[in-house]
Structure 1
Amino acid sequence: MVFMTIANKLLHERALEQKNVQSDLSVPQLVEKVLERQEGVLTSTGAVKATTGKYTGRSPKDKFIVKDDISANKVDWGTTNQPIDEDVFFQLYDKVLNHLQSKEEIFRFRGFAGADPKYRLPIQVITEFAWHNLFARQMFIRATDEELVNHKSEFTIISAPHFKANPRVDGTHSEAFIIISFKHKIILIGGTEYAGEIKKSVFSVMNYLLPETNILPMHCSANVGMEGDVALFFGLSGTGKTTLSADTNRRLIGDDEHGWSQNGIFNIEGGCYAKCIHLSEEKEPQIYKAIQFGSVLENVMIDEDARTPNYDDTSLTENTRAAYPIENIDNILKPSVAGHPQTIIFLTADAFGVLPPISKLTKEQAMYHFLSGYTSKLAGTERGVTAPEATFSTCFGSPFLPLPAATYAKMLGDKIEQYGVNVFLVNTGWTGGPFGVGRRMELSHTRSMVQAALEGELNSTDMVNDPIFGLKIPSQCPGVPSHVLVPQRTWSDEAKYEEKAKQLALQFHENFKKFHHVPQAIQEAGPVYKPE
């Protein structure tokens, strides 16, 4: 990968020259700084708890990519990848640096994105807040002392939450901004305290860089069985990637972001960013126990005296989070590098309550549903979302894809065919009715279905045809009542089910019109029910 551009090198030198830069502090040192600066409090778990103010989720409308001679003809421009002029970027860049130079101290973390040394990206994260630096240290791959000696950052992330942009002057949409310059290899974040912007902006960078080396970047979790069988779990925030991949019978590779090279799978991160809403030791023991000293609890309410977290309290947001190093999970693969997957699970949280809880996909159906990326936006994940909304997010991660969707889809399709991967669509959303009427799918049932898929038990079982979506539904699955497997059987009114199912089918068709260029076999792999 390319070394450093002039702008990045200047930043690097300016940061080192400043006396207020605290570089590569240890976890205990950062925890001390967080408490000393009153950025957060220590909880009974040993984790630091911090709040993020009015920004309790990502701000996709405030995210930009610098349009220049490097990116102009490569980025898939639109409402997701919004362009911003290079001169506007540099004006903000200079203001943010001046803002950080005025602080008594700022913090720098140096590490990597990418667990495979062949493909990793050296990064540095410069933050105004100590707790943001602790977050970065837990989320990315930490460099050893020996690696720090020769560490040359190829991308720099700068986070200055207290710097508020002026939209009329600075060319932004609000006080918050997340700007990526691929030419100058800088990510500029301001006006928002939500730490997830740091994590996801680095993922966006990897989604830009990795395809250049024929590596598929994926918004998925991954684990590996005792026999070495690898599984991938695709899905947007809140669909169950972290929960379902944290399996006591399988070793965790990573919970959110991976690359698929010619050698196999590797984790892009060194930590996990788990949703905490209604977290319990009984239902999610690995995640519950992973929240230890040095972890970061984001927007989780606590008892002021005992300092115990209340994971059921949604006073601030439903998008409560825990960031912790992957080593806090007992059963992990280290290093986070494995072979080619045998099974892929597409996770969707269907707010209509009409998709089967599990169905086996053909290659063409897999490509159709990958491009569709249907799920529901869950409350709190983004600002302004207060209840689940049906949405289509291409490749189960369109907010983080700088390149055209076809780039990622073709790579996945080629790999599915090359390695003979079994693909399943799993609905972790609603059953028995839509949101507000039905109920959320039982986690125990979902776990049983996923286990059966991973162990190959659904490859030879009898299948039932779904007459509306054209999906193959297993007639039975160990640990799951048979009526649960067929969605219309869970509804009290089958006519209402059919009405909702056809409504969703039409939304699939309408959304897929933008993929008119894909092969006909993929276009025809969607719902059987079509507009008249």
Structure 2
Amino acid sequence: MNMMERTSLVNKLCNHPNLHENLSTARLVEKITSTNEGVLTSTGAIRATTGKYTGRSPKDKFIIRDELTSNLVDWGLVNQSLDESVFVKLLHKVVAHLEGKSELFRFKGFAGADPDYRLPIQVINEFAWHNLFAKQLFIRPDEKELIDHEAEFTVISAPTFKANPEVDGTNSEAFVCVSFKHRIILIGGTEYAGEIKKSIFSVMNFLLPQNDILTMHCSANVGQEGDVALFFGLSGTGKTTLSADPYRKLIGDDEHAWSPHGVFNIEGGCYAKCINLSAEKEPQIYNAIRFGTVLENVVLDEDTRVPDYSDTSLTENTRAAYQLDNMDNIVEPSVAGHPNTIIFLTADASGTLPPISKLSKEQAMYHFLSGYTSKLAGTERGVTKPESTFSACFGSPFLPLPPATYAKMLGEKIDQHQANVFLVNTGWTGGSFGEGKRMKLSYTRAMVHAALEGELNKTETIKDDIFGLAVPLHVPGVPDEVLVPREAWKDTDRYDAAAKELANKFHKNFKKFTHVNREIMMAGPVYQG
């Protein structure tokens, strides 16, 4: 397929006789409710359900192998390849499918808050609620920007088109196909809206590093003195929750880039987990859910339409998508200076990692490349209980390039800007999952606050015998016995066994990083099983 054919196919959709372009939020809500795609809740938000796909479907994601990607992409189980000819046939089918729809929806906007590095995008949907989702999550153009807007990447989303794996070359009925040559993302077979957001993130993770811009799966905020903090972590580790701080302004909750100017948000909204959400624990997120917000798979009271955030009968991966300006305490535009503090978040289900530890430069590189956490229920299809996982750079599902590319850039920036790095465990304490308890959010907030305020830079620490981490012995607002995980367990022998098992997992995983220097290689757990 040449560029002319590609343009012709996209234009077929853009010239659909009943295409709705950049509709207002109110008109999108009217469309959604009138066609029963979703219902209006007591908060004013729209609630939609996504059927059997209630999380990302990583086994159904593909990057098209061609002359642009063949020698750059880190091919494997995460970045699965699909032949260009297969993609072209599938694209023709999807376009024909959408042409037959009575109406389509188009959003034109941007990815990237810094005008110097932003990507003009368009999202074409068959569902109005998916279009509202895109409007909430991406950066919305003003009137002049909309007139001059020329999309450089197109997302085509057709949830009701089900692929035939034997004919279409996919792994199931669902597919997310990214073609950098043709600048198209093709999504079908799944109603989970998160695929739209994350596919654009994957695109930015391919394009920006080639221009020496580090892309990061992290949240970010800025203090009253202009000090910037980054929070790295996979879904469920607390990026959104911990970056929503009443004493700091939010830059963004999930996707950022680090340029020569500083940090900027890739998105224009937040995609917050809603499980057990309450006004008491997370007031900023709770209050952000209002008219225009999209609630995904949240259970409602049948009569009052009041959301029940504790009900997981549809999924544990309940979500709220809302614009950044739904929150009171934000940076506008979503651009700030260079980070002073970097926090790696992990939800350790083994209950053995310290709740907070200060990392040396080499330890920071080791743990960034490792990207350890416990994959929590609901974040991916088929995950029903925590599973230990190592996701390089805390975001390997979204990184087309080799992890070393991002790690090298991060290390250089840590050196250049003298950023302090901490590892924070938001997972279990006093025992493993099923026996111990999840770390209290109030304790985690106190530890993060101490790190951001510089209170841990000179505090007394103890070296963890198994993980080799520098663990502070005192943190204001946190009981001392919580800080050293071994002391929080009733059975220290069981703790030792569980910690050594986790250390072995670290060592086994890190063997794949054969080109790192010895200092980084030796910065992992001390225990050698």
TM-score by length of 1: 0.99
Aligned residue number for residue 419 of structure 2: 421
Q: CA deviation at 1:14?
A: 1.8
2:79 maps to a residue whose letter is N
Aligned residue number for residue 169 of structure 1: 167
SS of aligned partner of 2:504: helix
What is the alpha-carbon distance in structure 2 between the residues aligned to residue 315 and residue 246 of structure 1?
A: 27
Aligned residue number for residue 101 of structure 2: 103
Residues 485-496 of structure 1 aligned to structure 2 (within 5 Å): 485-496=483-494
What is the alpha-carbon distance in structure 2 between the residues aligned to residue 300 and residue 223 of structure 1?
A: 27
Aligned residue number for residue 433 of structure 1: 431
Aligned residue number for residue 66 of structure 1: 64
Q: CA deviation at 1:8?
A: 4.6
Structure 1 residues 301-324: Cα deviation after superposition (integer angstroms, max 9, x where no partner): 000110000000001000000000
Q: Cα RMSD between the aligned structures?
A: 0.8
**Is the contact between residue 16 and residue 104 of structure 2 (CA under 8 Å) also seen in structure 1?**
no
Structure 1 residues 279-306: Cα deviation after superposition (integer angstroms, max 9, x where no partner): 0000000000000100000000000110
1:358 aligns with 2:356: yes
What is the alpha-carbon distance in structure 1 between the residues aligned to residue 447 and residue 210 of structure 2?
A: 36
What is the alpha-carbon distance in structure 2 between the residues aligned to residue 261 and residue 17 of structure 1?
A: 37
**Is the contact between residue 5 and residue 185 of structure 1 (CA under 8 Å) also seen in structure 2?**
no
What is the alpha-carbon distance in structure 2 between the residues aligned to residue 5 and residue 258 of structure 1?
A: 30
**Is the contact between residue 8 and residue 156 of structure 1 (CA under 8 Å) also seen in structure 2?**
no
What is the alpha-carbon distance in structure 2 between the residues aligned to residue 298 and residue 389 of structure 1?
A: 24
Aligned residue number for residue 462 of structure 2: 464
Residues 141-152 of structure 1 aligned to structure 2 (within 5 Å): 141-152=139-150
**Is the contact between residue 300 and residue 311 of structure 1 (CA under 8 Å) also seen in structure 2?**
yes
What is the alpha-carbon distance in structure 1 between the residues aligned to residue 80 and residue 194 of structure 2?
A: 19
SS of aligned partner of 2:512: helix
Q: CA deviation at 1:203?
A: 0.3
**Is the contact between residue 204 and residue 401 of structure 1 (CA under 8 Å) also seen in structure 2?**
yes
Structure 1 residues 442-493: Cα deviation after superposition (integer angstroms, max 9, x where no partner): 0000000000000000000011110000000011000000010000010000
SS of aligned partner of 1:368: helix
Structure 1 residues 117-168: Cα deviation after superposition (integer angstroms, max 9, x where no partner): 0000000000010000000000000011111111000000000000000000
C-alpha distance 238-313 of structure 1, shift in aligned 2 (>3 A): same
1:493 maps to a residue whose letter is D
SS of aligned partner of 2:511: helix
**Structure 2 counterpart of 1:238, from 236, 239, 242:** 236
1:521 aligns with 2:519: yes
Aligned residue number for residue 390 of structure 1: 388
2:405 maps to a residue whose letter is T
Aligned residue number for residue 265 of structure 2: 267
1:32 aligns with 2:52: no
Aligned residue number for residue 151 of structure 2: 153
TM-score by length of 2: 0.99
Q: CA deviation at 1:18?
A: 1.6
Aligned residue number for residue 255 of structure 1: 253
SS of aligned partner of 2:192: coil
What is the alpha-carbon distance in structure 2 between the residues aligned to residue 29 and residue 455 of structure 1?
A: 45
What is the alpha-carbon distance in structure 1 between the residues aligned to residue 33 and residue 488 of structure 2?
A: 51
What is the alpha-carbon distance in structure 2 between the residues aligned to residue 105 and residue 492 of structure 1?
A: 62
1:91 maps to a residue whose letter is K
**Is the contact between residue 9 and residue 92 of structure 2 (CA under 8 Å) also seen in structure 1?**
no
Once structures 1 and 2 are overlaid, which stretch shifts more, 285-294 or 18-27?
18-27
Q: List runs of 5+ in structure 1 lacking aligned partners.
A: none
Aligned residue number for residue 295 of structure 2: 297
Residues 74-223 of structure 1 aligned to structure 2 (within 5 Å): 74-223=72-221
2:141 maps to a residue whose letter is A
Q: CA deviation at 1:5?
A: 4.5
Aligned residue number for residue 282 of structure 1: 280
Aligned residue number for residue 18 of structure 1: 16
1:289 maps to a residue whose letter is N
**Is the contact between residue 56 and residue 299 of structure 1 (CA under 8 Å) also seen in structure 2?**
yes
SS of aligned partner of 1:83: strand
Aligned residue number for residue 410 of structure 2: 412
What is the alpha-carbon distance in structure 2 between the residues aligned to residue 21 and residue 116 of structure 1?
A: 30
Q: CA deviation at 1:392?
A: 0.3
Q: CA deviation at 1:69?
A: 1.2
C-alpha distance 6-358 of structure 1, shift in aligned 2 (>3 A): farther
**Structure 1 counterpart of 2:315, from 298, 314, 317:** 317
C-alpha distance 349-366 of structure 1, shift in aligned 2 (>3 A): same
Aligned residue number for residue 44 of structure 1: 42
2:372 maps to a residue whose letter is Y
Structure 1 residues 10-51: Cα deviation after superposition (integer angstroms, max 9, x where no partner): 244223322121111011110011001110000000000000
What is the alpha-carbon distance in structure 2 between the residues aligned to residue 282 and residue 510 of structure 1?
A: 41
Runs of 4+ residues over 6 Å off in structure 1:
none
Structure 1 residues 351-407: Cα deviation after superposition (integer angstroms, max 9, x where no partner): 100000000000000000000000011000001100000100000000000000100
1:164 maps to a residue whose letter is K
**Is the contact between residue 254 and residue 271 of structure 1 (CA under 8 Å) also seen in structure 2?**
yes
What is the alpha-carbon distance in structure 2 between the residues aligned to residue 72 and residue 226 of structure 1?
A: 46
What is the alpha-carbon distance in structure 2 between the residues aligned to residue 298 and residue 244 of structure 1?
A: 21
**Is the contact between residue 340 and residue 419 of structure 2 (CA under 8 Å) also seen in structure 1?**
yes
What is the alpha-carbon distance in structure 1 between the residues aligned to residue 147 and residue 266 of structure 2?
A: 22
